[in-house]
Structure 1
Amino acid sequence: MNRIAVVAAGQGAQKPRMLTGWLKLPGVREAVTSWSEQADVDLIELGTKADADTLAATENAQPILVCLGVLISDMLADKDLVLAGHSVGELTAACLAGVVDPGTAVTLARRRGLAMARACAAEPTTMAAVIGGNPDDVVSRLTDLGLSAANINGAGQIVAAGPVDAVAKLVAEPPAGTAVKQLHVAGAFHTAYMEPAQEAFAQAAHEITFSDPKYPIISNLDGQEVRSGDELRDRLIAQVTAPVRWDLCLKQLAARQPDLAISAPPGKVQASLLSRQIPSLRTLCVTTPRDATQAAAQLEELSPVLQEA
């Protein structure tokens, strides 16, 4: 049993100026500047001045999300954790578990994002969220349209991906009992369309030493625990073209019966999914430095209980 679950956000959670408040904390601006140089991307510009469209570009969204998520590492030190990250959030989880350092995590996210952007440019594809309905009926409808279930998020949400015209037809003619929302993304992530990106990311990942994680990480591929750095590298590479099985990650987290969950910044999307899927689990949503201060205080209050247990 791991007493504190930590989940990290994937693309779609980014918001303009989400880094601004964090830069006022001691040492953060210097750290983010260093990571920017390492990753060859201006994270401060992205996190304080970029508009929504600029942030939505996958080569920008991925590194800034990882940058923000790893800022809570100090408050998690020496806690009894289990971690999971949605898509690129798995790099955030890897950093929080000590597999790679923050600058490396941000750099890998940038290289992953650039590779995926190039793959998106090769063929017009997109994604849409299907909410509600019978999951088997939804998947059957996607198959009929030549689409893939790129994310199975739990809480009644499946994200479809594939050719633009097929997604448009899904939006126009949704499966019974569902609502379908077009997503503003560059392409069909977590499908075979990302094979060129997978190859490029694999090259980047194999240039890095992956330490064994200090805490268990729950894999997007199948909701199983990963304890080896080499295995995590292989799974990170595989998930570029594989569906994100966030439903299985949440099921695994629930089975561990944690006392508390923390949704790393920007925390709202994953906190919402957690609360709907595991309503009995107390979830702290960390989006701002004030949220982090409050969460750290609650972790300290919980520490004596954990030591007694």
Structure 2
Amino acid sequence: MIVVACPGQGSQTPGFLSPWLELPGVAERLAAFSEAAQVDLAIHGTQSDADTIRDTRIAQPLIVAASIIAAEELERRAGRRPDGLAGHSVGELAAVALAGVIGAEDALRLVGVRGRAMADAAARAETGMSAVLGGDQDAVVARLQELDLTPANYNGGGQIVAAGALPALAALAEEPLRGTRVVPLQVAGAFHTAYMAPAVEALRQAVAGVATSDPGVTLWTNRDGSTVADGARALELIVDQVASPVRWDLCMASFTEAGITGMIEVAPAGALTGLAKRGLRGVPAVAVKTPEDLDAAVALLNGEA
């Protein structure tokens, strides 16, 4: 089983879309996506600096658009779809589009709403996120609870992302648990926590009129790592996930139970491949950062690697 994984926010880098725009048809595809998301993806994906594309309103549509474009090109070159799909956080919107649950332009319209709503929610309080690397998971979670922080992402491989008020995150960094390292993340707020409750309602209203189909391949949810066979339910889970922890650790555990033989992370790739090295030991993983990486991904998808 080959799983395609779609990354989440923070994976974008300045200019990362430039090589993709050299492929036939991508400029036109990106123009349609830009209109749906109400974001100039071509400009932000090729010319904008790191601070600009860190803006949640821009980052989320950029990431989803890139993942869809890269995965579509992978499928075209390989001549087949992957066996399974999963996305990390906002990457779930790319995954449901690629699984056939919703149309690609619907995914970009929804991620535009999601990005704007989450940015507005984040502006209500000074919050952020930090990765806690290493340590015992139970001990880390207990420490976060002491500081009134939320474990927003359980990423597996010894990584938990803490989210909450900036003073509490500073206290966590100043006195880390023994055996852990705290790394502040370049995001605008405490995503996947109660701080995002206003964004949940905005996204729920946006999905109300979106037509759904059941997924055409195995699709996993960040809610608990289980598979979702009903398209409407998949979209409902993505809405709720805005204010709920991301359980990527459980997704990887489910990949293993399903007999995963390889993972392909589509653009802007790197983060999930890194987690796979620790959470999916021995499973080949390819990060498709540019079109040059597609040959290796096609080989893995077609069992030629």
* TM-score, length of structure 1 as denominator length: 0.94
Where does the alignment leave 5 or more consecutive residues of structure 1 unmatched? 304-309
Tell me which residue corresponds to 1:7: 5
Q: Distance in 2 between matches of 1:4 and 1:221?
A: 21
Q: Distance in 1 between matches of 2:248 and 2:18?
A: 29
Tell me which residue corresponds to 2:109: 107
Aligned positions of 1:248-259 closer than 5 A? 248-259=250-261
1:264 is the counterpart of 2:266: yes
Q: Aligned AA for 1:94?
A: V
Q: Deviations over 1:93-123 (max 9, x none)?
A: 1111011222211221111010000000111
Match of 1:70 among 62, 68, 71: 68
Q: Deviations over 1:229-269 (max 9, x none)?
A: 11101100110110000100000011111222111111111
- Over the matched positions of the two proteins, sequence identity in percent amounts to 44
Alpha-carbon contact 2:36-2:112 (below 8 Å) kept: no
Q: Distance in 2 between matches of 1:247 and 1:299?
A: 23
Aligned positions of 1:132-147 closer than 5 A? 132-147=134-149
- Residue 186 of structure 1 deviates from its aligned partner by 0.8
Q: Aligned AA for 2:62?
A: I
Alpha-carbon contact 1:92-1:105 (below 8 Å) kept: yes
1:35 is the counterpart of 2:37: no
Q: Aligned AA for 1:141?
A: R
1:20 is the counterpart of 2:45: no
Go from structure 1 to structure 2 and tell me whether the alpha carbon gap of 1:301 and 1:267 turns closer, same or farther (over 3 Å shift).
Answer: same
1:122 is paired with a residue whose SS is coil
Tell me which residue corresponds to 2:228: 226
Tell me which residue corresponds to 1:46: 44
- Residue 15 of structure 1 deviates from its aligned partner by 0.5
Q: Distance in 2 between matches of 1:74 and 1:214?
A: 18
1:226 is paired with a residue whose SS is coil
Indicate the RMSD between aligned Cα atoms, in angstroms. 1.4
Runs of 4+ in 1 over 4 A off after TM superposition: none
Q: Distance in 1 between matches of 2:43 and 2:298?
A: 28
1:204 is the counterpart of 2:201: no
1:165 is the counterpart of 2:167: yes
Q: Distance in 1 between matches of 2:284 and 2:165?
A: 39
Q: Aligned AA for 1:45?
A: I
Q: Distance in 2 between matches of 1:245 and 1:143?
A: 18
Where does the alignment leave 5 or more consecutive residues of structure 2 unmatched? none
Farther-moved stretch of structure 1 (204-213 vs 90-99): 204-213
Match of 2:131 among 129, 132, 152: 129
Alpha-carbon contact 2:4-2:82 (below 8 Å) kept: no
- Residue 50 of structure 1 deviates from its aligned partner by 0.8
Q: Distance in 2 between matches of 1:38 and 1:293?
A: 30
- Residue 298 of structure 1 deviates from its aligned partner by 4.0
